[in-house]
Structure 1
Amino acid sequence: MMNSQTTGQLIASALVNNGIDTIFGIPGAHMYDFIDALYERRSELKFIHTRHEQAAGYMAYGYAKSTGRIGAYTVVPGPGVLNSAAALCTAYGANAPVLCVTGNVMSDMIGKGRGQLHELPDQLATLRSFLKAADRINHPSEVSAVMTRLISTMISGRQGPVSVEAPWDVFGQKGAGPEPQAASAYPAPVADPDAIARAVKMIAGARNPLIMVGGGAVDAGAEVLELARHLQAPVTAHRSGKGVVSDDDPLAMNLVASRDYVTDCDLLIGIGSRLELQYMRWRWLPKGIKVIRIDIDPTDMVRLKPDIGIIADAAAGTRALIDALTMPSRPSRAAEFEEIKARARIAVAGVQPQMAYLEAIRSALPRDGFFVEEVSQMGFTATFGFPVYQARQYVTVGYQGNLGFGYNTALGVKVAHPDKAVVSVSGDGGFMFGVQELATAMHHGIGVIAVVFNNASYGNVLRDQRQAYQGRYIGSALTNPDFVKLAESFGMTASRVTSPAELRARLAQYIEADRPALIEVPVEQGSETSPWPFLHPAPPAD
């Protein structure tokens, strides 16, 4: 059906028709006609306005990572979209379906270098350099085709962020165009039967397999666990795969325990994972170990070539492998695995005060609650020290390691899950990147609980300068506000605690209240035990 509508109205329809119910952003002159179209659809599209463009991008990222659905945001072009680029960069690295709707200068000014408001030399080329796709809409008649193509690209294969732009004058331009329809993913590759057969043969000959899961396996938990039980193979993860197999399952091993187990491992099965943990962090695997990878992205088999590569969706590829197995299920190794996990628990117990505080948070946070990490001493330790019971409930920045993503991302998680508890854990350095979004939390009633560990420093930098640069400190000590008073000045509930027991009690209280809140935890500068010996362990002695 052809309707005479503005470009902005048609883009809004495309969002609604693709199941998007929330869009984050900041209004601006280039986007006024689109923002007005959002007003017309306000009963279907909630608009959450933020105090910084980066926050809008990260809220969309949190929405997408915690749901698997599209996270959308809108900002002005030029400096606006560049301010949000860190979030797009994170979404690309963590394979999140994030959609950025932005503008451009007037149609007749694009590429002219005349210096119109927010002009970039080539915005599309800039965005295409680090997104999965970016495109421009030049007329209302193009909206349906462009939006369908971009969204299909975004949700297909290895998912990733995309951007759509329209010139300033085109958003309000009326024209006849088809009603945008829901986009669908392109067909996923089907596992090659020959590769499956070779993998089955390799598995049958393995004594001690290890399964490594990543973000690509978040929807394959049932299949991964079935394979693991059949083989009696432990399952490990680094960040994005946490919770694919619940950490309280006998077959789940955190990265510290699995590093112990791998010394006698003869087969590594990677499912939806880049295998960063093994190849870039451990930097060592036993001689002669074989590698099977299941990944939807064929180019990843070139980046890290396995012995056998199965190009398929994680769930479908794992299912094909299970169905082809002819070997009987192996007897339980639960007792053996528990011994390894017990040794790991003893080893990491010395990472203090981080482990004590993380245990307090885990005991207060409901089993179905969400934990959003941050680039901080608590965040690093959480990768091995915070149990997770379901996929998507541990929201991470992935390999980009963007300082300051945490609180903003947590707000997006809470918007997507208003009935669930969401706890954001930050250091003082990272929290200050998005501190202005305390205003957003209060304005929209977004009940995230921010736990800010204040060591008055960029803790990693401080430690590295002390240990590797003989105490030549530069740029690592920080001056902070009184975080409790700052939060209260926005009307937020806030308090300061000085022990894990206090934190547990206060968190439980704030979770029950389900309102925006902040808890500051003072930590003596330089007192945290380094988690890095567990994250980057030395190779074993010969």
Structure 2
Amino acid sequence: MTQAAGREARLGGHILADALVAQGVTHAFCVPGESYLDLLDGLHARRNRIELVTCRFEAGAVHMAEAYGKLTGKPGVALVTRGPGACHAAIGVHVAFQDSTPLVLIIGQIPFEETDRESFQEVDYRKMFAPLAKWVTQIDDARRIPELMAHAFDVATSGRPGPVVVAISEEMQKEMAAVPDLPPAPVFPPHPAPEALPRMMELLRRAERPLVVLGGQAGWTAQGRADIKEFLLANDLPVAVSFRRMGLFDGTHPNYVGDLGVGADAALVRKAKESDLFIAIGTRIGETVSQGYTLMDMAGSKPIIHVYPEQAEIGRVYRPALGITADLNAFAAAARALPPVGTPVWSGWRAELRAAREAQAKAPAYEGPLNLAVALQALEKVLPPDTIFTTDAGNFATWPQRFMHVSEGQDFLGPTNGAMGYSVPAAIGAKIVHPQRTVVSFVGDGGFLMTGQEIATAFHHGVAPIVMVFNNGMYGTIRMHQEKTYPGRVSATQLTNPDFARFIESFGGHGEIVEATDQLVPAFQRAVASGKPAVIEVRTNPEQVTNRSTIAELRAQAAKG
């Protein structure tokens, strides 16, 4: 064995596996491919350090890694092969980008000497992933593996977190090199500028109708959440959360006023427009939070305080009265130490917002044997206090969003880019990260048949998430828009589905069918008691296409023009 600087030479694939160990990686989610056999061999040699999770579809693998990133704040790692594998993985990279989740995707690549010949499965990943990732690179020299992998993890976690894509050529993995492993660099996060917090408190003292919106997910630690909560409660501030971030603040608390995203309560949206100070902490104030950029004007006539870890995002759309570039947890710790404003003048305003939230959470008298709102609220009462929820995209998702309350200690993971097929693999990834916690996946019938086969991964790795499939036999969100725009002209939105309970039973799991309100809780309890991966098929009324409108009502509204 050759020596260099006292270090043994290693295969590039083994150097890469050691680089992952050096960065503190504990799990990697993969669909194997011949383009990275040497890395797989390196991971075999380090199997006592990194658990390699074998998945059934590349999008599912990246969704699992993304859920890992959301829950831990550390980059989730996914490994896929070149060409089709990388293309399948792209949706998960887009989720991580729009959700600001740290992620490192490693892609096997063609031999370097075949570049630009349109070799078998050749793709230029720098071009392909340029708009989807924070950084894209390719490693063609084994000696640079520690340097480039360390930088990949630094980029994924710095500023606004996000995905990094690393392509690894075949021959590089077979090269021998003697290089040191590089651990993470000890970097202290940015703190608020000394003059920022006094200015923030002065703006707050002038306000009469302030509204706080909490966003972000992977950037928050448990201590950071506790610190920001103490600051907000000390000042009796009304707190909303951004789209699919219900786990950031206790939904049962009197200061919680709802979520600003798709399907937001109209009363909250009206109140947000009436507010005279908008305090955005950890959210980019994107299209969903701003309700299509309608809550405020971009010139800043309403004062905005924007706290975000990436300076380039502050003022990108809305010009703030005060922008604070800071790590969210550092900001929370600093804010917690501030003396409160005293007796706030907005306690009545906060109570109005909370009353609106409580009013919208009351279950209407829906027609049919299944009142999904009542059933979900009954389920909420029997869930463990540390439950992890995952959700897919679709109209079904607005039911738990509106009628359930994510409490302190629970987590809620959902894709802000509206990706269908996220929930099931995310639930499996969450259960692998936290095997002792109850994990509940909310998914529609359309989304389940996109990545539901990943339930095989749960069996393979011995974890048991509980998947609730809301089955209305259609792509419900698209049907809703269709009925609003072209009422009665149904096109391409009807679905033919399997028996979802029998589907999971074919794997050896536990299946349930729910058709009435009082059936959901017993079905859930039986699923938990089984100790197996479970699917609860909730057969919903297709006429009740949203929790606010039926198809007949949408058609009537469209007829009125």
Q: Provide closer, same or farther for how the CA distance between residues 513 and 176 of structure 1 changes in structure 2, counting only shifts above 3 A.
A: same
TM-score, normalisation: structure 2: 0.88
| Identity over aligned pairs, percent | 27
Deviation at 1:154? 0.8
Match of 2:452 in 1: 435
Corresponding position: 1:315 with 2:317? no
Match of 2:535 in 1: 518
Q: Do the aligned residues in 1 keep the contact of 2:510 with 2:530 (CA within 8 Å)?
A: no
Question: CA separation in 2, counterparts of 1:52 and 1:480?
Answer: 21
Match of 1:62 in 2: 67
Q: Provide closer, same or farther for how the CA distance between residues 78 and 350 of structure 1 changes in structure 2, counting only shifts above 3 A.
A: same
**Aligned residue pair count:** 527
Corresponding position: 1:266 with 2:276? yes
Q: Provide closer, same or farther for how the CA distance between residues 163 and 420 of structure 1 changes in structure 2, counting only shifts above 3 A.
A: same
Match of 1:158 in 2: 160
Corresponding position: 1:20 with 2:25? yes
Corresponding position: 1:133 with 2:135? yes
Match of 1:418 in 2: 435
Corresponding position: 1:476 with 2:493? yes
Q: Which moved more, 1:468-477 or 1:321-330?
A: 321-330
**Equivalent position to 2:373, from 355, 363, 377:** 355
Q: Do the aligned residues in 2 keep the contact of 1:7 with 1:174 (CA within 8 Å)?
A: yes
**Mind listing any 5+ residue stretches in structure 1 that lack a counterpart?**
534-542
Q: Provide closer, same or farther for how the CA distance between residues 285 and 139 of structure 1 changes in structure 2, counting only shifts above 3 A.
A: closer
**Secondary structure at 1:309's aligned position in 2?**
strand
Corresponding position: 1:280 with 2:278? no
Question: CA separation in 2, counterparts of 1:338 and 1:201?
Answer: 23
Corresponding position: 1:371 with 2:389? yes
Question: CA separation in 2, counterparts of 1:53 and 1:105?
Answer: 18
Question: CA separation in 2, counterparts of 1:410 and 1:274?
Answer: 26
Q: Provide closer, same or farther for how the CA distance between residues 392 and 345 of structure 1 changes in structure 2, counting only shifts above 3 A.
A: closer
Q: How does 1:69-468 map to 2 (within 5 A)?
A: 69-110=74-115, 112-113=116-117, 115-120=118-123, 122-184=124-186, 186-215=187-216, 218-219=220-221, 220-255=224-259, 256=265, 258-259=268-269, 261-262=271-272, 264-276=274-286, 277-281=288-292, 283-285=294-296, 289-303=302-316, 304-323=318-337, 325=339, 327-328=341-342, 330=344, 333=347, 337=350, 340-348=353-361, 349-350=363-364, 353-390=371-408, 393-398=411-416, 400-468=417-485
Deviation at 1:281? 4.7
Question: CA separation in 2, counterparts of 1:143 and 1:529?
Answer: 50
The one-letter code sitting in structure 1 at the alignment partner of 2:121 is H
Q: Provide closer, same or farther for how the CA distance between residues 395 and 532 of structure 1 changes in structure 2, counting only shifts above 3 A.
A: farther
**Mind listing any 5+ residue stretches in structure 2 that lack a counterpart?**
1-5, 260-264, 551-561
Question: CA separation in 2, counterparts of 1:407 and 1:249?
Answer: 29
Deviation at 1:56? 0.7
Deviations along 1:249-290, one digit per CA (max 9) or x if unpaired, are 221221336446436522111111122455235823599532
Between the two structures, name the one with larger relative contact order (CA 8 Å, sep ≥ 6).
1
Question: CA separation in 2, counterparts of 1:279 and 1:201?
Answer: 24
| CA root-mean-square deviation | 2.5
Q: Which moved more, 1:89-98 or 1:350-359?
A: 350-359
Question: CA separation in 2, counterparts of 1:351 and 1:289?
Answer: 39
Question: CA separation in 1, counterparts of 2:460 and 2:293?
Answer: 45
Match of 1:537 in 2: none
Q: Which moved more, 1:407-416 or 1:318-327?
A: 318-327
Question: CA separation in 2, counterparts of 1:180 and 1:193?
Answer: 34
The one-letter code sitting in structure 2 at the alignment partner of 1:84 is A
Deviation at 1:53? 0.8
Q: Which moved more, 1:34-43 or 1:278-287?
A: 278-287
Q: Do the aligned residues in 2 keep the contact of 1:388 with 1:394 (CA within 8 Å)?
A: yes
Question: CA separation in 1, counterparts of 2:156 and 2:352?
Answer: 43
Deviation at 1:202? 1.2
Q: Do the aligned residues in 2 keep the contact of 1:215 with 1:240 (CA within 8 Å)?
A: no
Q: Do the aligned residues in 1 keep the contact of 2:443 with 2:469 (CA within 8 Å)?
A: yes
Question: CA separation in 1, counterparts of 2:114 and 2:389?
Answer: 45
**Secondary structure at 2:68's aligned position in 1?**
helix
Deviation at 1:321? 4.3
**Secondary structure at 1:254's aligned position in 2?**
strand
**Secondary structure at 1:225's aligned position in 2?**
helix
Question: CA separation in 2, counterparts of 1:503 and 1:173?
Answer: 57
Question: CA separation in 2, counterparts of 1:368 and 1:515?
Answer: 19
